[in-house]
Chains A and B, each alone.
Chain A
Amino acid sequence: MIEAQSLTKRYGRTTAVDDISFTVRPGAVTGFLGPNGAGKSTTMRMVVGLDRPSHGSVTVSGTRYDRMHAPLTEVGALLDAKAVHPGRTARQHLRTLAATHGIGTKRVNEVIELAGLGSVANKRVKGFSLGMGQRLGIAAALLGDPHTLILDEPVNGLDPEGVAWVRTLVKHLAGEGRTVFLSSHLMSEMAVTADHLLVIGRGRIVEQGPVQDVIGRATRTTVRVRSPHATELAALLAGPDVVVEAPEPGLLEVHGPNAAAVGEIAAAARLVLHELTPVSGSLEEAYMSLTADVVEYRSGGDGQGSPTDLTATEVAR
């Protein structure tokens, strides 16, 4: 269980993480989703004490990371696959980490096999591909058999087999009751891997909950209607929460009411429909709409200068 309270990180005048509170529960894979620079890595670095919060706190299983006696057995973190001296072999890197906790060679060999590094364990990391580096990072994270795993972009650079391996692994670990907190810029990967989502934009949590709920809430219902009476139907549907677009004659895209409501309105007016299709939103759409909202909110909320100028500034950043 990871609990963050009012977590804030400022670098000079830039606020990377802005007063966020969240809980990552055990027994599920929680995806941490957000565009580059949204504050994902900074948040994860604060969890393991590499960055100090400017304000607020974050604990794992109720304890601050830097107060743990055996941190590697509590939290396994892959934050940066390059956090390895390239002159050491994979095995030597794992041995140095294991030595700090008195973890023996047996466990080092286990995680080498587990991560599929058996054939390259005695090669220097200098020659590793990005994917091999990621596997070494995952091996290091698993070294202490931790209750909580924090993986920043773990599938970055992995081949399709590797991606499938990570997906199976994290689901399995969560199935054992562990807490798995995983960030990725691959939204499609999140949709199939994560159970819960935490969406971050510009340092703030903009949405959280089960994956399907987040997609559902963030996507406006869209209904595609084909009718010879499109113009009349559009007039009947018009209302304050309804947007009707007509991409081509005889075709409407209705945002607001669901398919049933559109069908009933059409039936009441005795209008013929040739097609009535609910178009469900994708995670990608949800993500775009969520992060777009954040940009608008921040632009207007700064309260100085004209909104146009601020939008330009936000874009420039």
Chain B
Amino acid sequence: MTATTTAPAPADGARRPRSTLDGARVTFPRVVRAEWIKLWSLRSTYWTLGLAVVLLVGFAAIGAISVKEFPEQLEGQADGSAALVSSLLQPGLIIGPLAFVVLAALTVTGEYATGSLRSTLTAVPTRLPVLAAKVVVVAAVTFVVTTVATGLSLLLGGAIVPALAPDWNAPDVPRIVLGGPLYVTALALFALAVGALLRNTAATVSLVIGLVLVIENALNLIPWEPLEYVRPLLPATAGAAIASTPEQLEQMGEFMPVAFQPGPWGGYGILLGWVAVLLVAAAVRLRTRDA
């Protein structure tokens, strides 16, 4: 059946007017579009993003409920202050980013694991636009989804305890609110770059999650003086400062001494610096190695 029905078909397919393919050439927006289709055509994307939203909003809800049950936590804090808003949002930022780490790593390592990267690079043989497009798509999706989850957290928190609703005019509140999505987005790109270097899902996810949850905390707690110069440069610790109040940073400095305190934006800059260095290394590796 197949032979008889498909044998004449090549004629139609091959001789079809060329107009269908007029203007067919690789452009960066088109490569971004291809990466966009790729991301949304995998079930793992929906799972990881769903999990991320549940974690971010769920931790905020638990935090709000605990404030409602033990309202003494509100004492001495102005309604909607940065301290209250961060007490609502920060718990989610410990575990929530890990779902994005998995998603970002998979966009690269999933292609190596399945071999689909060979198809991708055959379509885009200059290779670098593929990495850049993945960065654009992962950054956009992570930032938008985290921002939406943050908005839901604030609405939910304000509904449970009105004092937790942000006062946008209070010092540091806009930075604390947007700091979460900015931190998570940078951490996702960090994982993407590590994935492009290691080319292996398990290695990438365990390295990045191990760094965030274990290695950095260990280095922060080991009382050894030379570590004072290392701590400010730890990517996740430094980056998380963008979502921390000045008081929190000061308190952290007391039991984890640092040689210098880069501040919220300085710390975020350090995380972005890590991302930039790793992405450049990933780009070099992608260009020079056989696929």
The residue from B5, B31, B42, B125 contacting A68, defined by CB atoms under 8 A apart: B125
**Max chain B C-beta neighbours (<10 A), residue from A72, A96, A97:** A96
Stretch from A85-93, A256-264, A266-274, A303-311 contacting the other chain: A85-93
The residue from A66, A88, A164 contacting B41, defined by CB atoms under 8 A apart: A88
A83 and B116 contacting across the interface, CB-CB below 8 Å = yes
B24 and A83 contacting across the interface, CB-CB below 8 Å = no
Q: How far is B121's CA from A45's CA once the two chains are assembled, in angstroms?
A: 11
Give the chain B neighbours of A14 by CB distance below 8 A: none
Cβ of B290 within 8 Å of any chain A Cβ, yes or no, is: yes
Name A143-202 residues within 8 Å CB distance of B: 144-145, 161-162, 164-165, 168-169, 172-173, 176
A161 and B3 contacting across the interface, CB-CB below 8 Å = yes
Task: Known A-B contacts: A83-B122, A145-B21. Give 8 more (CB < 8 A).
Answer: A72-B122, A84-B114, A89-B41, A99-B30, A102-B30, A110-B16, A114-B12, A172-B14
Q: How far is B276's CA from A15's CA once the two chains are assembled, in angstroms?
A: 36
B34 and A97 contacting across the interface, CB-CB below 8 Å = yes
Give the chain B neighbours of A86 by CB distance below 8 A: 114
Q: List 22 A-B contacts (CB under 8 A).
A: A70-B25, A71-B26, A71-B125, A73-B24, A73-B25, A79-B122, A83-B118, A83-B119, A87-B114, A89-B41, A92-B37, A96-B34, A97-B34, A100-B26, A100-B30, A102-B23, A103-B20, A110-B12, A116-B9, A172-B10, A172-B11, A176-B15
Question: Which residue of B has the minimal Cβ distance to A167?
Answer: B7
B5 and A142 contacting across the interface, CB-CB below 8 Å = no
Question: Which residue of A has the minimal Cβ distance to B119?
Answer: A83
Give the chain B neighbours of A2 by CB distance below 8 A: none
List the interface of chain A (C-beta within 8 A of B). Answer: 45, 48-52, 65-66, 68-73, 77, 79-80, 82-89, 92-93, 95-97, 99-104, 106-107, 110-111, 113-116, 140, 142, 144-145, 161-162, 164-165, 168-169, 172-173, 176
A140 and B24 contacting across the interface, CB-CB below 8 Å = no
Q: How far is B1's CA from A162's CA once the two chains are assembled, in angstroms?
A: 11
Given A99-B30, A100-B123, A164-B3, does the pair A50, B10 have CB atoms closer than 8 Å? Answer: no
Give the chain A neighbours of B16 by CB distance below 8 A: 110, 145
Q: How far is B123's CA from A100's CA once the two chains are assembled, in angstroms?
A: 7
Question: How far does the Cβ of A7 sit from chain B's closest Cβ, in whole Å?
Answer: 14
Question: How far does the Cβ of B285 sit from chain A's closest Cβ, in whole Å?
Answer: 13
A99 and B37 contacting across the interface, CB-CB below 8 Å = yes
A114 and B41 contacting across the interface, CB-CB below 8 Å = no
Question: How far does the Cβ of A30 sit from chain B's closest Cβ, in whole Å?
Answer: 18
Q: How far is B116's CA from A95's CA once the two chains are assembled, in angstroms?
A: 13
Cβ of B110 within 8 Å of any chain A Cβ, yes or no, is: yes
Interface residues on chain B, size class? 35 or more
Cβ of B76 within 8 Å of any chain A Cβ, yes or no, is: no
Nearest 3 pairs of A and B residues by beta carbon: A99-B34, A114-B13, A70-B25
Give the chain B neighbours of A82 by CB distance below 8 A: 114-115
Q: How far is B30's CA from A97's CA once the two chains are assembled, in angstroms?
A: 10
Question: How far does the Cβ of A27 sit from chain B's closest Cβ, in whole Å?
Answer: 14
Q: How far is B115's CA from A80's CA once the two chains are assembled, in angstroms?
A: 9
B290 and A50 contacting across the interface, CB-CB below 8 Å = yes
Question: Which residue of A has the minimal Cβ distance to B27?
Answer: A102
Question: Which residue of A has the minimal Cβ distance to B4?
Answer: A161
Question: How far does the Cβ of A58 sit from chain B's closest Cβ, in whole Å?
Answer: 13
Cβ of B155 within 8 Å of any chain A Cβ, yes or no, is: no
The residue from B31, B288, B290 contacting A100, defined by CB atoms under 8 A apart: B31
A168 and B114 contacting across the interface, CB-CB below 8 Å = no
Question: Which residue of A has the minimal Cβ distance to B42?
Answer: A87
A85 and B114 contacting across the interface, CB-CB below 8 Å = yes
Name B183-226 residues within 8 Å CB distance of A: none
